[in-house]
Amino acid sequence: MRLPENVTLKEVGPRDGLQNEKVFVSTEDKVEWINQLSKSGLSYIEVSSFVHPKWIPALSDADEVFSKITKQPGVTYSALVPNAKGTERALKANVDEFAVFMSASETHNRKNINKSIEETFPVLKEVVDEGRKAGKKVRGYVSTVFGCPYDGNVAVGEVKKVCDRLFSMGVYEISLGDTIGIANPKQVGEVLEELVKDFDADRFALHFHDTRGLALANTLAGLNAGITSFDGSAGGLGGCPYAEGASGNAASEDLIFMFEEMGINTGVDFNKFMKAASFIEKALGKPLPGRQLKLLEGRA
């Protein structure tokens, strides 16, 4: 196995984790949670989304959350930015880094963004251009890389086309999403083998959902393919509003535990992170699926 000495864990729970929750977590609890995450050693936290509040009510307080969190040195605080209006809000909120998003499959892109793939590029280019002009780095998310709930299999060639367009715009990293948790380790290895023929491995991150219990196995396949950047969500929070049946993201604490046990440094204090994971679980008032959280609480 080809194992790196270090990996970067990007905590997406405050955005991708909460966006699908029916319970509205108060602004005060969001701020407290993010402040706890900030002190755990994480270098990257995706705080919220500047999508119109009508579409994602759970994150309707993005502006207020950004104004109230206590930023720690060395931590990047990012947000999802969908369009010109979102860009305006994100710049006003002094977001450190923008994230843009689209799908590799046509139907999911239409359901998620209400546009075709081709129609999406000019909208995202405007966000990228404005963000970079303001000195912001821009990250990209590509959903349904390993399979679509509507279109089925997604050809690697289609993924390459989308990645090529996004990189050409100036996106520095693309997070490859297994939106419905359908990927398996063999497939992950094969897809990455094709992608790294055209793009450097260090320009990709992996974003797995644990729908079928394969998120950690798929992460291992990613490591073996040279990927060192991974998205996770505290407690395994998350899902996709436009992909029925998509369960939570890979639990950050499970990723941290696996990496550290394998001798791969994450820079994260496990105990401090677990405190933050327990906090959001209590705020939501329901048990979360992360395995380390279950062990901590005697639910395993």
Assign 124 to helix, strand or coil: helix
Assign 242 to helix, strand or coil: coil
Q: Which amino acid is at 143?
A: S
Catalytic residue among 18, 56, 227, 240: 240
| CA–CA distance, 163 with 271 (Å, rounded to integer) | 37
| Residue 57 CB contacts under 8 Å (≥ 6 apart), including other chains | 24
Active site residue 163: no
Report which of 293, 271, 268, 279 is spatially closest to residue 72, judged by C-alpha positions.
268
Q: What is the DSSP letter of 236?
A: G
Q: Is the dihedral of CA 238, 69, 75, 112 positive or negative?
A: positive
Cβ–Cβ < 8 Å for 218, 188? yes
| CA–CA distance, 268 with 53 (Å, rounded to integer) | 32
| Residue 182 CB contacts under 8 Å (≥ 6 apart), including other chains | 146, 147, 211, 212
Which sequence positions are flagged as catalytic?
Answer: 240
